[in-house]
Structure 1
Amino acid sequence: MRGIMIQGTGSDVGKSLITTALCRLFVKDGIKVAPFKSQNMSNNSYVTMDGKEIGRAQGIQAEAAKTAATVWMNPILLKPRSDLQSEIVLFGKRAETLSGRDYREKFYRKGLEAIQSSLDYLEKEFDVVVIEGAGSPVEINLNDREIVNMKVAELADVPVLLVADIERGGVFANIVGTLELLSPDERSRVQGLIINKFRGDIGLFQDGVKWLEEKTGIPVLGVLPYKEKHQIDGEDSLSIKSQFNAKQKKPIDMVVISLPYISNYSDIEPFLYEEDVSLRFVKDSAEFGRPDAVIIPGTKSTINDLHEIKESGLHELLFDFVKDGGFMVGICGGFQMMGTEIIDQTGSDTGDKGKRVKGMGFIPARTNFFEEKKTIRVKGHYHPNTKLNGNELIEGYEIHLGKTEIFGEDASFLKLENGRNEGYYSHDGKMIGTYVHHLFHNDEWRNKWLNEIRKWKHQAIKDVVNTQELKEERYDNLAFNMKSHLNWEKIKDITYGWDKK
C-alpha cells in the first residue's frame, strides 16, 4: 500500500488534526487520498451517506480529502457506555457490548480481519492512504494484542511519522523514550518526527531540532505552532470545550449540559461562528447561572446521565429556567430526558430489562428502549403546525436505540421526507426536542432560532452565517498553515519511496 501513518507519543498530541491537513495537502497535489483509522474510541460519531456509523474524525478527514466517508475508513468504532464497557460498532453497525478484557480476548482476531479487508479495499480505490494511530505505540501492557498502531503499520506496510506535543512538557524524553521502547523493526518504520503545539519563536528551538536528529538519527520534518480555534471538528469533548472561551461574555449566554457520557458534541460547533454567542459547558448547579438558552446534548447512556442531572441539582434549576421562559433544545438523549417517562424495555440502555424512570417532565413524551439501533440520514421541513415561516430543508442524521412517543399530533417539530413526524415543538417555540443530530449545522434554522432569542432579549437580529462555505476555507487554511511549517516535499518522498525499499 502507498501511504503514511501518523502515530503519537501519547493521546491528544494532534494526530487527528495533522492527518486532516495531510489529506487536504495530498488533494491539492491532485492525489486521490483516503483517511484511515483502524479503531476509534469516541462517542462523537459520523453517519455515512448509506446510514453507517464511523468515528467523527474520519468523517471530517474524508471531507478534507474531498471524498465520501465510508466504513472502510474506520471499520471499528468503540462507544463507551460506562467505565468498563463499550459498544462495538463494526463496519458501521452495532455488533455487541463488551468489557475491555473481553474485547481484547474475544475480538482481536475478528478485528484484525476487519482491518485487513479495509486496507485491501482502500488500496484498490485510492492512490494514497493517510493512517491515524491511537494513543501511544508503546503501551507495553497492551502491545501483545494491539490493533491501532505498529500492527496496522505492519499490515499496511507503510512508514510512520511520530508526533509529540511540546506544550505538555518533556518532549525530548517522550520522543526518545517512545523510540527506545519500540522493537528494531518497528523503529525502522519511523521515518520522521513532528513537534506539535509550539508556542513562541520557533527559531529558538533549532538547537532542540539538531539534538533530536543527532540523538535519534531521524529527521524532524516540522515544528508546528500551537493553533487556537482551528474550528476543525474534534474527536472528543475536551477538544471542543477548549475551542469555546467561557470567560468571554457575549450578548447570548448559552449553556450545554456536560453529561458524563455526552455524544455527538459536534452538534454545537456551529455556534463558534456566531459572534454574539458565548457557550458554557455546565455539569453542576453551581455553574448554571442565568443563561438565555440551554442545550441538552446526546448521550451514550441516557438513564445514567439523567440520574446525574437529578443528583447534581441541575434538574431543579432547569425546571425554574423553563418556567421563566428560557429556550431549551434537547437532542437525541437530551430529547429523551425531557419527556415524562423512560422505559428500558430490553435493557439496551442500562442492562436492566424493564427499568422505568421518570423523565424531567418538560414535554409530553414517553421513550422506550429497544435492541435495534437506528442510524439514518434524514431530511425534512418544519411541521405545518409549528407555524414557522420559511421552507428551509433540514438535514441531519439519527443515531439512537430509543423510540419516543409524543402525546399530541400538533406538537411535532419536523415533517420528514418519508412522511414521518419527528420531534417536539412547543406552541411558543421555546421548547424543542429532536433526534436529528447536526440540527444547528443547518444555517438558516440556526439563524432563525437565534433571532428568536435576540428578539426576546431586545437585541438586533442578525443575518445568516454560512458555515458551509466557511468549512472548505477551514480545510484550506489548515493545510496552508501546516504546510508552511512542514517539510512537505520530504513527507511525499517518504510516502512514495517506502514501497521501493
Structure 2
Amino acid sequence: MKGIMIQGTSSDAGKSFLATIFCRLLSKEGVKVAPFKSQNMSNNSYVTRDGFEIGRAQGIQAEAANTEASPYMNPILLKPTSQQSSEVILFGRPLATLSGMAYRETFYEKGLDAIQMALGKLRETYQAVVIEGAGSPVEINLKKRELVNMKVAELADVPVLLVSDIERGGVFASIVGTLELMDPLERARVKGLLINKFRGDIRLFEDGVAWLEKRTGLPVLGVIPFMESHMIEAEDSLSLNGRFMSQPGKALDIAIIKLPYISNYTDFEPLLFEDDVSVRWVDSGDSLDNPDCVIIPGTKSTIHDLRQLKQLGLDYAIRNYYHNGGRILGVCGGYQMLCAELVDEHGTDTGLPGSVEDGLSLIPARTMFSREKTTVRTKGEFHNTNDREPIPVQGYEIHLGYSEWKDEPSGKAFLRLEGGNAEGYYSENGRLIGTYIHHLFHNDEWRTFWLNQLRRKKQLPEQQAVSSGDKRSTRFDSVAEEIRPHLQWEKIKTIMEEWSPKT
C-alpha cells in the first residue's frame, strides 16, 4: 500500500484540510484510497454505519475518498472530559477514562499494537493511504512515546510532507525549526514542504520559496491560497472562533452556546449554506441579545458545562430569553441541560458518583447518566407538521444516559423512530425542542421546515430546501480542483510511488 503523511509545524496548520483534498484527488483518479489518523484528540466525532465512533475528520475524509468510514481509519480517539483527562475510544468503542500521565505511562504499547493492526487492515482493502499527523512532530516532551507523527510514518513506512500556516506568521522559522529538531532518520523521511493560507500575489513569495528550498534542501510542493469559506469541516478547536461569526445584514440570527467541552459542533454547519442565516457563538449572558433561536449543542462533559453556564449567568439569560418568547433547541448534552435534573449515579459524566445537578428546568424530565455509551445511527420521522406529511430524519446518537419524564409532559415526542419508539421533546409548535440526534440539520427537508418557521415569524419569504449533501460532495470536487493548480500534484504522486526508506 502506497501512502503519504501530512504533518504540520503546529496545530491548525491545515493537515485535516489537505488530507481531505488529497483523498478526493486520488479518488477522482480511480485510486482506492483511505484516510488514516492513528490518534485523534477531539470531541467532534463521527458514527460509522456499524455504530463505531471515530474522529469526525476521518469520517469526512472517508466521504471525500468515496469510501465507507471505518474504525481502522482512526483506531484511537481521545475525547477530553476535563483539563487533565480524556475518554479513550479504541477501535470505535469506549475503553477507559485516563489522565494524560496515565495514558502516557500505560497505553503506549497497546496503542502501537492498535495502529499496526489498523494499518494492516487498511492494506487488505486499499491501494493508498493518506495519513494525517497531529500538532507538531517535534514536541520534545512528547516525542519519546508519541503515537501520531513520525512513529506512525515509520510504522506505515511512508514519506512525509510538512505543512505550515503562513497566515499566523513565522513560517520560515517554524519550518526550519521543525526540521532542525528532527533526528536524521526523521528528517530523511520528509520529502517536501507545503505552505498553507497564503494571501495575495504568489509572485511576492517567490523569493521565499527559493530561500526555503535552498535552506532546507526540500522542494516546496505547494503554496495554497487562503480560502475564505471552503466549507470543508474543520477538526481543530483553534478553528472554532472563525467557523461561526455574526454576519450583519442576514435576516435570521442563530445563536449557539459555546460550551467549554462542546462536541460535534459540525452538526450546525449546514446552516452556513443558507443565504439568509447568520450563525454566531455566545459565551456570556451579555452577548445573547435576542436571536431568532438559541441552540445548546452537545458536550463531552454535560454537568461541568452546565455549571459553567451558571457561573457566567447564561442559565438566567437563556431562561429569560425563552420566557419572553424565544425559541430553544437542545442537542444531546444541550437537551440534557434543558431538563429539570441531571443525576450522575455512576460518575460517568463528572467522575464523582452520586452527583446531582439542577438543570435549566424548561423540559419536565430527568437525565440519568448510565455506565454504557450509546453510539448508533438513527432513523425516524418528524410528525409535528400540521397538514404536511411526516418528514424523514436520520442522524446518529453518541451519549451517556437517557432522559425520562419527571412529570406529565406538556409537549410531545420530537421524533417517532423506526420500531416505534419516541425520541426527544417538542412543545409550543417547536418553540422548545430537545433531541439526542446529531446531524439533525444535515436533513435538508427538516432544516428547511424549521428555518421556514423562523422566517414566517419574522414575515420573511419561505425558502426552498438547499441540498447540503449535494453541496458537500460538489464542494469536495470544486475545492479539490481549485487547490490542485497550486500543488505540484504529479510530483507528490511520484513521491508516493517511488518512496523507499533509502530514498
What TM-score results when the alignment is normalised by the length of structure 1?
Answer: 0.98
Residue identity matched to 1:404: S
What is aligned with 2:404? 405
Q: Answer whether contact 2:251 2:277 (CA < 8 A) is retained.
A: yes
Contact 2:397 2:438 in 1 (8 A): yes
Partner of 1:125: 125
Asked if 1:391 is matched to 2:384, the reply is: no
SS of equivalent to 1:462 = coil
Query: Corresponding residue for 1:248?
Result: 248
Secondary structure of residue in 1 paired with 2:51: coil
SS in 1 for 2:429: coil
Q: Deviations over 1:396-427 (max 9, x none)?
A: 00000021113447611111002211000004
CA separation of 1:192/1:418 partners in 2, compared to 1, >3 Å: closer, same or farther? same
Distance 2:8 2:134 in 1: 7
Q: Which runs of 5+ in 2 are unaligned?
A: none
Q: Take 1:485 and 1:193, find their aligned partners in 2: how far apart are those partners?
A: 13
Q: Using the alignment, how far apart are the partners of 2:199 and 2:391 within structure 1?
A: 44
> Matched residues in 2 for 1:88 and 1:491: separation?
34
1:364 positional shift: 1.0
Alignment deviations for residues 255-313 of structure 1 (CA, whole Å, 9 cap, x no partner): 00000110000111011011111111011112111111000000001011111111111
Question: Whole-Å Cα distance in 1 between the matches of residues 86 and 243 of structure 2?
Answer: 27
Q: Which residue does the alignment assign to 1:313?
A: 313
Which residue is equivalent to 1:95? 95
> What is the Cα deviation at residue 249 of structure 1?
3.5
Tell me the residue number matched to 1:66.
Answer: 66
- The one-letter code sitting in structure 2 at the alignment partner of 1:398 is E
SS in 1 for 2:486: coil
The yes-or-no answer on 1:442 pairing with 2:443 is yes
Q: Structure 1 residue 330 and structure 2 residue 330: aligned?
A: yes
Check the 8 A contact 2:252/2:276 in 1, yes or no: yes
Distance 1:466 1:455 in 2: 21
Question: Paired residue for 1:264?
Answer: 264
1:425 correspondence with 2:426: yes
CA distance in 1, matches of 2:240, 2:172: 28
Distance 1:322 1:166 in 2: 44
Tell me the equivalent position of 1:233. 233
Q: Which amino acid aligns with 1:252?
A: L
5+ residue gaps in structure 1? none
Say whether the 8 Å CA contact 2:244–2:280 is kept in structure 1: yes
Deviations 1:130-166 (A, max 9, x none): 0000011100111000010000000000000000111
Whether contact under 8 Å (1:228, 1:243) holds in the other structure is no
Aligned equivalent of 2:273? 273
State whether residues 160 and 189 of structure 2, in contact with CA within 8 Å, keep that contact through their aligned partners in structure 1.
yes
Q: Deviations over 1:205-235 (max 9, x none)?
A: 1111111111111111011111111111111
Counterparts of 1:20-419 in structure 2, within 5 Å, are 20-383=20-383, 387=386, 389-406=388-405, 407-408=407-408, 411-419=412-420
1:194 is displaced (CA, Å) by: 0.4
Q: CA deviation at 1:391?
A: 2.3
1:468, CA displacement in angstroms? 1.3
* Corresponding pairs, count: 500
CA distance in 2 between partners of 1:388 and 1:342 (Å): 36
Paired with 1:346 and 1:49, the residues of 2 have a C-alpha distance of 29
Q: Could you say what secondary structure the match of 1:12 adopts? A: coil
For residue 278 of structure 2, give the secondary structure of its aligned residue in structure 1: strand
Residue 494 in structure 1 maps to residue 503 in structure 2: no
Q: How far does residue 247 in structure 1 lie from its aligned partner after superposition?
A: 4.3
The question of whether the paired residues in 1 share the 8 Å contact of 2:189 and 2:501 is answered with: no
One-letter amino acid of the counterpart of residue 3, structure 1: G
Q: Secondary structure at the match of 2:363?
A: coil
Deviation at 1:324, TM superposition (A): 1.8
Distance in 1 between residues matched to 2:307 and 2:468, nearest whole Å: 35
- Contact residue 339 and residue 366 of structure 2 kept, 8 A: yes
Distance in 2 of aligned mates of 1:88 and 1:104? 12
Task: Report the aligned-residue RMSD.
Answer: 1.3
2:441 aligns to what SS in structure 1? helix
Tell me the CA shift for residue 442 of structure 1.
Answer: 0.3
Aligned to 2:4: 4
Give me the whole-angstrom Cα distance separating, in 1, the residues matched to 2:201 and 2:335.
48
- Judged with a 3 Å threshold, the aligned counterparts in structure 2 of structure 1 residues 438 and 70 are, in CA distance, closer, same or farther, namely same
8 Å CA contact 1:386–1:412 kept in 2: the answer is no
CA contact (8 A) 2:415 2:424 kept: yes
Q: Distance in 2 between matches of 1:4 and 1:185?
A: 16
Report if aligned partners of 1:303, 1:349 keep a CA contact under 8 Å in 2. yes
1:402 partner letter: G
Deviation at 1:241, TM superposition (A): 3.5
SS in structure 2 at match of 1:95 = strand
- 1:386–1:411 CA contact under 8 A, matched in 2: no
Q: Give the SS at the match of 1:24.
A: helix
SS at match of 1:242: helix
| 1:240/1:269 contact within 8 Å kept | no
SS of 1:364's equivalent? strand
Alignment partners' CA distance in 1, 2:329 and 2:456? 18
Q: 2:79 is matched by which residue type in structure 1? A: K
Partners in 1 of 2:123 and 2:483 — Cα distance? 26
**Contact 1:78/1:89 (CA < 8 Å) preserved in 2?**
yes
Distance 1:216 1:450, change over 3 A: same
Distance 1:236 1:10, change over 3 A: closer
Find the residue that maps to 2:490 and give its secondary structure.
helix
Task: Give the Cα separation in 1 of the matches to 2:386 and 2:240.
Answer: 34
Match in the other structure for 2:481: 480
- The AA in structure 2 aligned to 1:400 is H
- Letter of the 2:195 partner, please give it: I
TM-score by length of 2: 0.97
Cα drift, residue 459 of structure 1: 1.2
Structure 1 pair 500/135, CA: closer, same or farther in 2 (3 Å)?
Answer: closer
1:70-125 per-residue CA deviation (whole Å, 9 max, x = no partner) reads 00000000000000100000000011000000000000000000000001111121
In 2, Cα distance between equivalents of 1:243 and 1:316: 26
Structure-2 separation of matches of 1:476 and 1:429? 36
Return the offset for 1:429: 1.5
Check the 8 A contact 1:386/1:413 in 2, yes or no.
no
Q: Judging changes above 3 Å, is the alpha-carbon distance between structure 1 residues 236 and 249 closer, same or farther for their aligned structure 2 residues? A: farther
One-letter identity of the residue aligned with 1:395: Q
